[in-house]
């Protein structure tokens, strides 16, 4: 029997929606996708944990319960949640500021960061505040991810070379790498070069080769995506056969075998104070990346996602990670695309992936003892190089110099200072640019296009104007930041036109008038009244009219409000009949 569930319940628990129609065919598709994503996630999870400065097993732990919780609370049918490169780098930066890497305090701080991130995301979702992520503009995000990709790749060179190096920005990393070049382990370098070259070839060349040899496209694609596992297996086998760890090759070492442990974050005020800012940045950036991927994949199947419910899903995933030995997670681009391409139809594919990773944690971890860290470094480098996109500089330079400035400063600050400062400066600059632009909105003096009822900018079109009428079109909502600018522009224009009798404020683009702007309109009305000039409004939107009617503005207006600009001009020039005016 089909039981109709309350919409509010299915909105908060999407599993109750898609789960009711789950069948055997869907199970088969989700299961196949889970196998492919699990194979991909094993080396990725290990690698990203090491990137975050954490024990390798924490990458697997962060990919088990968080995925299950997202499957219950998330709305995307294809999003694959887990550790990602940028968030792992930000985790290393944030946690490194409150604890020394390799210490129990460092791991506890990572759990705490996941906990704080989860709380923040959950709060945003419950109070439907997902719009706050809009303050991260796409150019700033693109610039930040590009710079982060460079830093991540540079940070992994030490593992390819078998040397020690440190630093949270590109300059420090390069200096540290150059200072330690004398200690290069040539066996490690050979493994790293082989793994990197092979992974690049697998990504670009293996699929076409297999198709050319007669393999069908689907199997060829699956084999190509499984390539990293083959590289991991081969380099681990070589490392074990020749005991390369005795020759200075750093391996992953012992990985605890078993279920993810029950853990708890720190509730120390000092730790929270040191991590809360980073938790907010990680949450917002992770959400923007995740929701962008989810929306893209949903659109391909004409599905929809709920951004606020996505916040709840990601928040629950991070809280789950905090109590099961993980660290901050989000929806990953590469694994989500693989999940989608492999045929995943519901979030259950993620839950099956979690089961696969759980099996790996129980039975496969002893086999990874001899896995060279250089192989994991190669996995990260190949993955993040696809994130680097300098074309955003060319695009923003051609389209908007202000956006170009925001992107450039974000990239330079991230590379030269660090990831958190870089994204903070990018966001701050974007907000300042927005405030500057909106504080000086585009305003155009308009006139009538001959033979039409259209009114256009006098600087762009050959139009008809009257000496006694000034029409000023405002192309921005009016609020406290631009109210005074509007006053100044009107007064300047009126002062230059001694024959003026009417000023019409044309408002087709004004979606909001706040209290400060209302006071400015009242001041303009009084000043023009003293000068013997009538002040009129035209094409005022309904919601704006509703708000203006709540006060006595229209009772003091010394002019009229017109439905259209053409009606205003015809009325004020006396060319409209009494019947038309009444209408």
Is residue 246 packed enough to be buried (19+ CB in 10 Å), middle (13-18) or exposed (0-12)? exposed
Q: What is residue 210's predicted lDDT score, i.e. its pLDDT?
A: 83
Which tokens go with 235?
């380099």
pTM (predicted TM-score): 0.81
To the nearest 10 degrees (0 to 180), the angle between helices 85-96 and 269-300 is: 170
Q: Write out pLDDT tens, residues 181-209.
A: 999 999 999 999 999 999 888 878 888 88
Which tokens go with 114?
């996941």
Domain ranges of the chain: 21-406, 443-582
Q: What is residue 3's predicted lDDT score, i.e. its pLDDT?
A: 60
Q: What is residue 16's predicted lDDT score, i.e. its pLDDT?
A: 81
Q: Tell me what the mean pLDDT of segment 121-143 comes to.
A: 84
Higher pLDDT, 275 or 208: 275
Supply the mean pLDDT for the chain.
89
Residue pair 311/132 in contact by the 8 Å Cβ criterion: no
**What is the number of helices (H) and of strands (E) in the chain?**
28, 8
* Residue 272 neighbours by CB under 8 Å, 6+ apart: 112, 116, 266
Q: Write out pLDDT tens, residues 453-486.
A: 999 999 999 999 999 999 999 999 999 999 999 9
- Among 317-321, 336-340, 496-500, name the one with the lowest average pLDDT: 336-340
CA–CA distances in Å: residue 254 to residues 63, 336, 449: 19, 29, 78
Q: State the CATH class of domain 443-582.
A: alpha beta
* Nearest to 192, CA basis, from 450, 46, 377: 377
Q: Tell me what the mean pLDDT of segment 49-58 comes to.
A: 93
Strand 443-448 with 330-331, pairing: unpaired
CA–CA distances in Å: residue 310 to residues 11, 150, 286: 11, 29, 11
Q: pLDDT exceeding 70 applies to what percent of the chain?
A: 97
Q: Identify the top-confidence range among 161-175, 197-211, 393-407, 536-550.
A: 536-550
Q: Which residue has tokens 């959950």?
A: 122
Which tokens go with 218?
């689907």
Residue 576 scores a pLDDT above 70? no
Stated as kind and residue range, the H or E segment containing 81 is strand 81-82
């Amino acid at each position: 029997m089909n039981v109709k569930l309350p919409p509010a319940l299915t909105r908060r628990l999407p599993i109750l929606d898609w789960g009711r129609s789950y069948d055997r065919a869907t199970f088969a598709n989700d299961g196949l996708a889970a196998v492919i994503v699990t194979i991909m996630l094993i080396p990725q999870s290990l690698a990203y944990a090491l990137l975050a400065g954490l024990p390798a097993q924490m990458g697997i732990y962060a990919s088990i319960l968080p995925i299950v919780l997202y499957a219950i609370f998330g709305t995307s049918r294809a999003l694959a949640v887990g550790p990602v490169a940028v968030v792992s780098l930000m985790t290393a930066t944030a946690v490194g500021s409150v604890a020394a890497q390799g210490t129990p305090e460092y791991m506890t701080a990572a759990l705490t960061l996941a906990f704080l991130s989860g709380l923040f995301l959950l709060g945003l979702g419950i109070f439907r505040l997902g719009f706050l992520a809009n303050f991260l503009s796409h150019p700033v995000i693109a610039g930040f991810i590009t710079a982060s990709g460079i830093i991540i790749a540079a940070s992994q060179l030490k593992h390819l070379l078998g040397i020690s190096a440190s630093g949270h920005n590109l300059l420090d990393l390069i200096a540290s790498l150059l200072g330690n070049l004398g200690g290069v382990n040539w066996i490690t370098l050979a493994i790293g070069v082989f793994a990197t070259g092979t992974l690049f070839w697998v990504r670009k060349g293996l699929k076409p080769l297999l198709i050319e040899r007669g393999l069908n496209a689907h199997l060829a694609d699956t084999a190509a995506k499984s390539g990293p596992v083959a590289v991991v297996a081969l380099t681990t086998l070589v490392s074990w056969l020749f005991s390369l760890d005795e020759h200075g090759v750093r391996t992953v070492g012992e990985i605890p075998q078993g279920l993810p442990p029950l853990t708890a974050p720190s509730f120390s005020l000092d730790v929270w104070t040191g991590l809360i800012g980073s938790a907010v940045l990680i949450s917002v950036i992770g959400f923007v990346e995740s929701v962008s991927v989810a929306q893209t994949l949903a659109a391909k199947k004409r599905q929809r996602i709920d951004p606020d419910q996505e916040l709840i899903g990601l928040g629950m995933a991070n809280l789950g990670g905090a109590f099961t030995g993980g660290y901050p997670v989000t929806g990953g681009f590469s694994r989500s695309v693989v999940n989608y391409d492999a045929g995943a139809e519901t979030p259950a594919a993620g839950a099956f992936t979690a089961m696969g990773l759980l099996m790996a944690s129980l039975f496969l971890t002893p086999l990874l003892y001899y896995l060279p860290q250089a192989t994991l470094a190669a996995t990260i480098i190949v993955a993040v190089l696809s994130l680097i996109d300098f074309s955003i500089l060319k695009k923003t330079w051609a389209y908007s110099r202000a956006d170009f400035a925001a992107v450039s400063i974000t990239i330079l600050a991230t590379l030269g200072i660090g990831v958190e400062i870089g994204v903070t400066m990018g966001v701050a600059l974007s907000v300042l640019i927005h405030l500057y632009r909106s504080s000086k909105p585009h305003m155009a003096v308009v006139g009538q296009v001959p033979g039409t009822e259209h009114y256009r900018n006098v600087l762009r079109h050959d139009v008809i104007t009257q000496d006694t009428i000034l029409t000023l079109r405002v192309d921005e909502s009016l609020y406290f930041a631009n109210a005074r600018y509007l006053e100044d522009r009107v007064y300047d224009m009126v002062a230059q036109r001694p024959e003026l009798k009417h000023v019409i404020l044309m408002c087709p683009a004004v979606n909001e008038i706040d209290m400060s702007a209302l006071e400015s309109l009242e001041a303009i009305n009084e000043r023009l009244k003293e000068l013997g000039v009538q002040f009129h409004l035209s094409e005022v939107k309904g919601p704006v009219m509703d708000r203006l009617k709540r006060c006595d503005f229209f009772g003091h207006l010394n002019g009229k409000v017109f439905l259209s600009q053409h009606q205003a001009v015809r009325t004020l020039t006396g060319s409209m009949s009494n019947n038309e005016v009444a209408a």
